[in-house]
Amino acid sequence: MEPTAILSDLIKINTVNPPGNETAVARYLKQLFDSAGIPNEIIEPEEGRGSFIARLGSGPKKLLYFAHADVVAAGDDWDFDPFSGEIKDGIIYGRGALDCKDLLAAEVSAALQLAATGKPLNGELIVVAAADEETGGSLGAKCLVENYLEKLQADFAINEGAELPICMGNRMIYFLQVGEKGTAWCRLKARGVSCHGSVPSLGENAVLKLSRALAALGEYRPEIKLIPEVETLLRELARFRGLSYDPARDAVDSLIDRLDLERGFAETLRAMTRMTVSPNRVEGGLKTNIVPDRCVAELDIRILPGQDRAYVEGELRRLIGEEIEIEFMNYIAPTFSTSQSDYYRLLESLTLELAGREAVCLPYVSTGSTDSKYLRGAGIPAYGIGHMAAGFDQAVRTTLHGRNERTDVASLQLKTQFLFELARRYLS
């Protein structure tokens, strides 16, 4: 079955999370794989929150194709029905077209095409459509890893997570995601003494106390930390711009500015080189005429390898002092899969083969989070792709988690061809 038809069908199945409804996708996929005679199953930890697993072939080698079936809410002001799945003038429209039902459609189509060839595989291709990625994965990838790991065990995995390709001169630069920053979300609590707002000097204002701490965080300048993959990425981008770069001498921020990149990608590069701290939620006070005795702020903190809870707490204490309480809300260590592996080299060589001689392939580190963190945490090397065809509309970048999400048929076909060839070669 063509990936365009599969993607259109998947978009039409509303899997906005919450509530999810991913079992509807799992049942749709089950029909496709049953018709092809490919063994499969649905794992449903809660009603409606099913993940799908299929297995093709047998043998010692194992390759895992992973994607999530849920999507974020569409919101208002779209120029088309976000769940139409319309295909028009080479474009596929709808929520999930880039995140990441397109990858799921490509993985499914590649597996069905492999089965249709009738040629036996010297190994096993595992295809997973997981629930619940958009709200943390507890009912999806996390559940699968913790309770059904034997069903996922593979030599390596392909998932989402890479930046979409960028153009520099006549070169198309593709990225392979090799890792993700860790999450160290924190809650700061300031305590004071309440009193009547008409005589505030009788109390101790917790809002003012926490405001001073947040102001200090606003002035924070984290240390620069270059892991090898990011150093390679910066050096190669500088070379393509005709710039010299010596990490021991050149300031990273100055280099990123000189690269003259689209702002979103430039700031993503900057975030790859340091811990980031963003106070994103503040709550305090009961009434206008009561001095608040409590104020809470929640921080989104992302960390690099070598940075852990102790490092985060030490940096915060240095900035805000001892009086403010620090509570870790959510901590997940950074996860990485080496770029110095045969798996990475296979992905790189196949990308260049399919994308053309002017293409370049570079390692990439996600500043956000995907289900790959659970796979890597279980010992399965995972690599993210974001392959698109040359000439794709660069404006689609802003549609991920935004309005008017869409992708083009040529890019979907390239993804499918890449995944078909990868499985055929690795498992042949």
Residues linked to residue 328 through DSSP beta bridges, in sequence order: 186
- Exposed/middle/buried for residue 12 (C-beta within 10 Å: 0-12, 13-18, 19+): middle
Query: What's the pLDDT at 356?
Result: 84
Q: What's the pLDDT at 332?
A: 95
The pLDDT value given to residue 231 = 93
The predicted pLDDT at position 371 comes to: 98
- Strand 171-180 to 51-68 pairing: unpaired
Q: In a 3-state reduction of DSSP, which class is residue 129?
A: strand
pLDDT value of position 48: 98
- Segment 3-62, tens digit of pLDDT: 999 999 999 999 999 999 999 999 999 999 999 999 999 999 999 999 999 999 999 999
Q: What percent of the chain has pLDDT over 90?
A: 96
On the question of pLDDT at 225 being above 90, the answer is yes
pLDDT score of 329: 97
Write the pLDDT tens digit of every residue in 244-277: 887 766 789 999 999 999 999 999 999 999 999 9
Domains of the chain from N-terminus onward: 3-178+335-426 (3.40.630.10), 182-223+274-332 (3.30.70.360)
Each residue's pLDDT tens digit, 350-406 = 999 999 878 999 999 999 999 999 999 999 999 999 999 999 999 999 999 999 999
Q: Residue 300: count other Cβ atoms within 10 Å of its Cβ.
A: 16
Coil/strand/helix, residue 177: strand
Q: How far apart are the first and last CA of the chain?
A: 22
Alpha helices in 17-171 (DSSP H): 22-35, 101-117, 141-147
Residue 357 or 147, more confident = 147
Residues 6+ away with beta carbon under 8 Å from 412: 3, 4, 7, 92, 102, 105, 106
Task: Note whether 272 and 230 are within 8 A (CB).
Answer: yes
Beta-strand relationship, 156-159 and 182-191? unpaired
Residue 201 has pLDDT above 80, yes or no: yes
Q: What is the pLDDT of residue 38?
A: 98
What's the confidence (pLDDT) of residue 115? 97
Cα–Cα distance, 306 to 46 (Å, whole number): 37
Residue 244 has a pLDDT of 84
Confidence of residue 169 (pLDDT cuts 50, 70, 90): confident
* 337 pLDDT higher than 90: yes
pLDDT of residue 276: 98
